[in-house]
């Protein structure tokens, strides 16, 4: 027996794996952005190397020089956060509206920017800019004054050049990882859509609709069956409609219900009867979706109408 917390009912384990995969892809993109920021700050530090050397020669303490660079980095991170939050809020609102429009009967869930998101975003922005700016400022705050004040000196830029090369290599490596992951996902999706069992040849011509009948008007199965039979029959009479069907599932979807399957005269096994997932369809189901029949038993019960134009 396997025991799962109640939260698994709202966010299944396979969905959580996809969410972590999306989070990993977002983290890689964020690392690329941080490396770009570090490269820009490296260029800025190289341009200010003479200034830092002069301030150090005039008696400026190392702490004061580093504090000034950190203050600039914090302001940069705060500015980036101020620009990113409205964009994030707009994208979150769009996703919530789109989801609710596509799934009006879904369970409401919290989706948006809360305190944890703000803290995480602020921590990432401040940490990335502060580390990039602070480390570079620390290295540049005590330079060799003769090398730093000599234009074109190899010694003044040698250490920074090595850091820049390392960051470029890391950026290219992360980009390759992201591209390989995206290519693998696109290839897997293309392979899935190319499967003939899902009726992809007719996918662009099929219109589906989920219909929920009010129980006050349709109290028993006979009334509901008559309603769907009449709807499907009227759709088939439309000259613009090739075929129509009613079912509680669609091809390749994890819908329907689980039912016990037993053999006449056979005792029930110790671990129970087999419970395959079943979908209730009518005889026009396969033709409407363009699915080739291999082996099946069709039922006349109708729940969900679909129209092929």
Contacts of 47 (CB under 8 A, 6+ apart): none
Q: Which of 14-18, 153-157, 172-176, 205-209 has the lowest mean pLDDT?
A: 153-157
- Name the strand (E) or helix (H) holding 175: helix 154-193
184 and 48 both lie in a single domain: yes
The total number of structural domains that make up the chain: 2
Which one has a higher pLDDT value, 202 or 16?
16
Report the pLDDT value the prediction gives residue 152, as an integer from 0 to 100: 47
Structural domain includes residue 232: yes
Q: Is the pLDDT of residue 236 over 80?
A: yes
- Which span out of 38-47, 110-119, 229-238, 270-279 was modeled with the highest average pLDDT? 229-238
Stretch 196-203: mean pLDDT: 54
d(CA 195, CA 284): 21
Cα 168 to Cα 292: distance, rounded to the nearest angstrom: 52
Residues 117 and 170 in one domain: yes
Half-sphere exposure (CA, 13 Å, Cβ side) for 242? 12
Look at residues 156, 171, 194 and tell me which one is the last residue of a structural domain: 194
The boundaries of the domain holding residue 37 are: 6-194
Claim to verify: residue 17 and residue 161 sit in the same structural domain? yes
Asked if 161 and 16 sit in the same domain, the reply is: yes
Bridge partners of residue 305, in order along the sequence: 246
Statement to judge: residues 41 and 107 lie in one domain: yes
Cross-strand pairs, 71: none
pLDDT in tens, 207-233: 888 888 888 888 888 888 889 889 999
Report the SS3 class of residue 307. strand
pLDDT > 80? residue 242: yes
List, for residues 28-82, the tens digit of each pLDDT value: 887 787 777 777 777 777 667 677 667 767 776 777 777 777 787 778 778 888 8
Give the range among 54-63, 126-135, 219-228, 293-302 with minimum mean pLDDT: 293-302
CA–CA distance, 277 with 275 (Å, rounded to integer) = 7
Question: Could you give the maximum distance between any two Cα atoms of the chain, in Å?
Answer: 100
Last residue of a domain, one of 140, 162, 194: 194
Q: Are residues 27 and 102 in the same domain?
A: yes
The whole-number average pLDDT for the span 297-308 is 49
| C-alpha pair distances (Å), 211 with each of 99, 101, 208, 243 | 18, 15, 10, 18
Task: Assess whether 171 and 293 both reside in one domain.
Answer: no
Question: Looking at the structure, do residues 128 and 33 belong to the same domain, yes or no?
Answer: yes
Residue 75 belongs to some domain of the structure:
yes
- Total residue count of the chain as it appears in this document: 309
Decide if 59 is inside a domain: yes
Q: Is the pTM of this model over 0.75?
A: no
Q: Are residues 51 and 25 in the same domain?
A: yes
Kindly state whether residue 285 falls inside one of the protein's structural domains: yes
Q: Could you give the CA distance from residue 169 to residue 32 in angstroms, rounded to a whole number? A: 11
Instruction: Kindly state whether residues 236 and 139 are assigned to the same domain.
Output: no
Instruction: Give the integer Cα–Cα distance in Å for 279 and 251.
Output: 9
Confidence check: pLDDT of 304 > 50: no
Q: Is the confidence at residue 303, as pLDDT, over 50?
A: no
Q: Which range is least confidently modeled, 67-76, 97-106, 183-192?
A: 97-106
Point out which residues pair with 258 in neighbouring strands. Answer: 277
Contact 303, 248 (CB under 8 A): yes
Where a domain ends, among 194, 224, 247? 194
pLDDT at 309: 47
**pLDDT computed for residue 234 by the predictor:** 92
The pLDDT, as a whole number, for residue 306 is 52
Ordered DSSP codes for 192-225: HHT-GGGTGGGGGGEEE------TTT--SHHHHH
Sign of the dihedral through C-alpha 159, 164, 169, 174: positive
Alpha carbon 17 to chain centroid, angstroms: 11
Least confident of 44-48, 74-78, 193-197, 238-242: 193-197
Does one domain contain both 152 and 18?
A: yes
In a domain, residue 199? The reply is no
Q: Would you tell me how many other CB atoms lie within 10 Å of the CB of residue 56?
A: 19
Per DSSP, the three-state class of 246 is strand
Q: Which residue has the higher pLDDT, 246 or 32?
A: 246
Handedness of CA 16, 18, 23, 27 (dihedral sign): positive
Mean pLDDT within 255-269: 75
Residue 251, pLDDT > 50, answer yes
pLDDT band at 302 (very low <50, low <70, confident <90, very high): very low
CA gap 273, 263 in Å, rounded? 9
Establish if 1 belongs to a structural domain: no
Average pLDDT of the residues of the chain: 73
If asked whether residues 26 and 96 sit together in one domain, one would say yes
Q: What is the dihedral of CA 198, 201, 207, 210, to 10 degrees?
A: 0
| 119: in domain | yes
């Amino acid at each position: 027996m396997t025991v799962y917390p109640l939260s698994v009912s709202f966010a299944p384990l396979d969905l959580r794996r996809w969410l972590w995969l999306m989070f990993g892809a977002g983290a890689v993109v964020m690392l690329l952005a941080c490396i770009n920021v570090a490269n820009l700050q490296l260029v800025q530090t190289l341009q200010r190397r003479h200034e830092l050397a002069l301030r150090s020669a005039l008696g400026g303490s190392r702490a004061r020089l580093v504090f000034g660079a950190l203050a600039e980095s914090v302001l940069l991170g705060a500015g980036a956060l101020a620009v990113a939050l409205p964009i994030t809020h707009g994208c979150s609102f769009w996703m919530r509206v789109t989801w609710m429009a596509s799934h009006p009967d879904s369970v409401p869930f919290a989706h948006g920017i809360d305190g944890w998101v703000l803290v995480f975003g602020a921590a990432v922005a401040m940490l990335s800019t502060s580390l990039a700016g602070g480390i570079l400022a620390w290295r540049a705050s005590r330079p060799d004054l003769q090398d730093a004040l000599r234009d074109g000196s190899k010694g003044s830029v040698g250490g920074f050049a090595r850091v820049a090369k390392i960051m470029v290599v890391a950026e290219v490596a992360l980009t390759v990882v992201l591209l390989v992951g995206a290519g693998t996902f696109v290839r897997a999706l293309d392979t899935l859509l190319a499967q003939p069992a899902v009726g992809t040849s007719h996918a662009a011509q099929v219109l589906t609709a989920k219909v929920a009948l009010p129980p006050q008007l349709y109290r028993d199965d006979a009334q509901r069956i008559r309603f769907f039979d009449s709807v499907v029959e009227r759709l088939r009479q439309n000259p613009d409609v090739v075929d129509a069907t009613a079912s509680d599932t669609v091809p390749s979807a994890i819908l329907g219900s689980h039912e016990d399957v037993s053999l006449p005269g056979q005792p029930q096994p110790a671990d129970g009867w087999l419970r395959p997932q079943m979908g209730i369809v009518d005889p026009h189901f396969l033709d409407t979706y363009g699915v080739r029949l291999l082996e099946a038993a069709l039922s006349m019960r109708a729940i969900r109408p679909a129209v092929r134009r």
